[in-house]
Every structure is written in C-alpha cells, then in structure tokens.
Amino acid sequence: MNRLKINMQNKIAEIDGAIEHCEKLMNGDAIALNGLHKIVLERGYITDDDFKRRIFELQLEKSNLQERISRFKR
C-alpha cells in the first residue's frame, strides 16, 4: 500500500481522537493523559462555540483527507 495513503489514514484516526477529546471537554469531562508524566486536562474558559468551531475545522480536514484517499488507485 502507498505510504502516503497510510499516513493520511493515520491522520484521519488522529483527527477522530481530537474530535472525541473536544466533545469530552465540551461536556465538562476531564481528560487524563498517562505517559511519562500524568496530566489531567479540564475545560477552563473555552466556550461551546470555540469547541464547535474547532470540531467543524477538524471535520473539514478529515473530509478533505478522505476525498484525497478515495482518489488513490486501489
């Protein structure tokens, strides 16, 4: 499989994760990141409109990537 196509598919998975995190934060949930350091992210002062705008931008980027992937020969 084409390496560029694989990278774009991985990017789509990352975008899906980012959308999920935005939705969690918008609902007031905290996100715990466990790695070398443990960090808990909370909503803070960001408005719902800011989250909705960012989710829209991520969905648009995802849509563009999916369109590019569909143009690849199978």
Predicted confidence at residue 2, as pLDDT, reads 86
The answer to whether 41 and 33 have CB atoms below 8 angstroms apart is yes
Token reading at 10: 């991985």
CA atoms of 51 and 41, how far apart (whole Å):
14
The answer, yes or no, to whether residue 25 has pLDDT greater than 90, is: yes
| Residue ranges covered by each domain of the chain | 3-71
Which residues sit opposite 31 in a β-bridge?
41
Q: What is the per-residue DSSP string for 27-69?
A: TT--EEEESSSEEEE--TT--HHHHHHHHHHHHHHHHHHHHHH
pLDDT in tens, 9-18: 999 999 999 9
- What is the value of pTM for the model shown? 0.85
Give the mean pLDDT of 37-60.
Answer: 94
